[in-house]
Amino acid sequence: MKRLGLLWIFLLVSIGSAFSQCPMCKASVESSQSLGSKSVGMGLNVGILILLSSVYVIAMIVGLIWYKKFKRSQLEEYVG
């Protein structure tokens, strides 16, 4: 239970730094678009998609490992 509390505290502290990056990205894209370059905006979009997909891939891997261990323990209880 203590670890869960520490995790929540860590998440609450890290949320502030996550939101602080959005205005920087927005300003970067707006300044590059005013100069006529659209490659910065496309690069940011690709970066966001890569970061987003990596979280889901990690979650799927953890879920798959947990599922296999759970099924194995259920099978051992049933057989043994």
Are 18 and 56 found together in one domain?
Answer: no
Q: Where are the alpha helices (DSSP H) in 1-80?
A: 2-34, 39-79
Are 42 and 80 found together in one domain?
Answer: yes
Nearest-angstrom CA–CA distance, 44 and 63: 29
Looking at residue 37, what DSSP letter applies? -
Beta-carbon contacts of residue 41 (< 8 Å; ≥ 6 apart): 29, 32, 33
> Would you state the pLDDT for residue 16?
58
Please give the tally of structural domains in the chain. 2
Are 49 and 79 found together in one domain?
Answer: yes
Hey, what amino acid is at 72?
R
Are 15 and 47 found together in one domain?
Answer: no
Are 31 and 50 found together in one domain?
Answer: no
> Would you state the pLDDT for residue 22?
66
In the predicted structure, residue 5 carries a pLDDT above the cut 90: no
Q: Which residue range(s) make up the domain with 15?
A: 1-37
pLDDT in tens, 27-71: 777 777 777 766 777 777 788 888 888 999 999 999 999 999 999
In the predicted structure, residue 77 carries a pLDDT above the cut 90: no
Are 44 and 78 found together in one domain?
Answer: yes
Are 29 and 60 found together in one domain?
Answer: no
